[in-house]
Amino acid sequence: MNDERGLWELVEACAAQTPDATLFVDETDRTLSAQELRDGAERTAAGLAALGVGPDTPVSWMLPTWLEAPVLVAALARLGAVQNPILPILGPRELRFIVTQTQARLLVVPSVWRGRDYADDARAVAADRPDLDVLVVDRDAALPAGNPASLPPPPTPTSPDAAPVRWVFYTSGTTADPKGARHTDHSVKASAVGMVEALAVEATDCQGLVFPFTHIGGIAWLYTGLLTGCRSVMVEAFAPPTTIPLLRRQGITLAGAGTTFHLAYLAAQRDDPATPIFPQVRVFPGGAAPKPPQLHYDMKRELGGVGIVSGWGLTEAPILTMNTVHGSDEQLAETEGPPTPGVELRVVRSDGTLAEPGEEGELRAIGPQICKGYLDSSLNADAFDDQGWFRTGDLGVLRPDRHVRITGRLKDVIIRKGETISAKEVEDALFTHPDIADVAVIGLPDPVLGERCCAVIVAAPGSEPPTLAQVFDFLKGQGLTIQRIPEQVEVVDALPRNPTGKVLKHQLQATYDTPRA
- Residue 483 pLDDT greater than 90, yes or no: no
Single-letter amino acid, residue 383: A
Strands (E), 266-307: 284-286
CATH number assigned to the domain covering 7-150+161-187: 3.40.50.980
CA distance 366 to 457: 37
Q: Is there a contact between 331 and 323 (Cβ–Cβ < 8 Å)?
A: yes
Q: pLDDT tens digits, residue range 351-387?
A: 999 999 899 999 999 999 999 999 999 999 999 999 9
Output the pLDDT for position 175.
Answer: 44
Output the pLDDT for position 179.
Answer: 92
Percent of the chain exceeding pLDDT 70 equals 98
CATH number assigned to the domain covering 238-409: 3.40.50.12780
The number of beta carbons lying within 10 Å of the beta carbon of residue 352 is 10
CA distance 110 to 406: 38
Single-letter amino acid, residue 197: E
- Residue 236 pLDDT greater than 80, yes or no: yes
Closest-CA residue to 434 (of 298, 240, 333, 272): 298
CA distance 360 to 194: 25
Question: Rounded to the nearest 5°, which phi and psi values hold at 420?
Answer: -85, 125
Closest-CA residue to 363 (of 377, 381, 378, 343): 343
Q: pLDDT tens digits, residue range 397-426?
A: 999 999 999 988 777 778 887 677 888 889
Residues 30-45: what's their mean pLDDT? Answer: 98
CA distance 307 to 281: 10
Output the pLDDT for position 484.
Answer: 87
Q: pLDDT tens digits, residue range 273-294?
A: 999 999 999 999 998 777 889 9
Output the pLDDT for position 174.
Answer: 43
Q: pLDDT tens digits, residue range 423-455?
A: 888 999 999 999 999 999 999 988 778 789 999
Least confident of 191-200, 209-218, 422-431: 422-431
Q: Is there a contact between 289 and 259 (Cβ–Cβ < 8 Å)?
A: yes
SS3 content of the chain, % helix, strand, coil (to 5): 35, 25, 45
Output the pLDDT for position 450.
Answer: 77
Name the pLDDT band for 516 (thresholds 50, 70, 90): low
- Give the containing element (helix H, strand E) for 258: none
Q: Is there a contact between 105 and 59 (Cβ–Cβ < 8 Å)?
A: yes
Name the pLDDT band for 336 (thresholds 50, 70, 90): very high
Which CA distances in Å does 401 have to 191, 283, 323, 408? 21, 22, 12, 20
User: Mean pLDDT of all residues in the chain?
Assistant: 93
Q: Is the CATH number 3.30.300.30 carried by domain 413-512?
A: yes
Output the pLDDT for position 289.
Answer: 72
Question: Rounded to the nearest 5°, which phi and psi values hold at 514?
Answer: -125, 100
Same fold, 7-150+161-187 and 238-409: yes
* Max CA distance (Å), the chain: 73
Domain ranges of the chain: 7-150+161-187, 238-409, 413-512
pTM above threshold 0.75: yes
The number of beta carbons lying within 10 Å of the beta carbon of residue 52 is 11
Q: pLDDT tens digits, residue range 55-112?
A: 999 999 999 999 999 999 999 999 999 999 999 988 898 899 999 999 999 999 999 9
Output the pLDDT for position 39.
Answer: 98
- Residue 320 pLDDT greater than 80, yes or no: yes
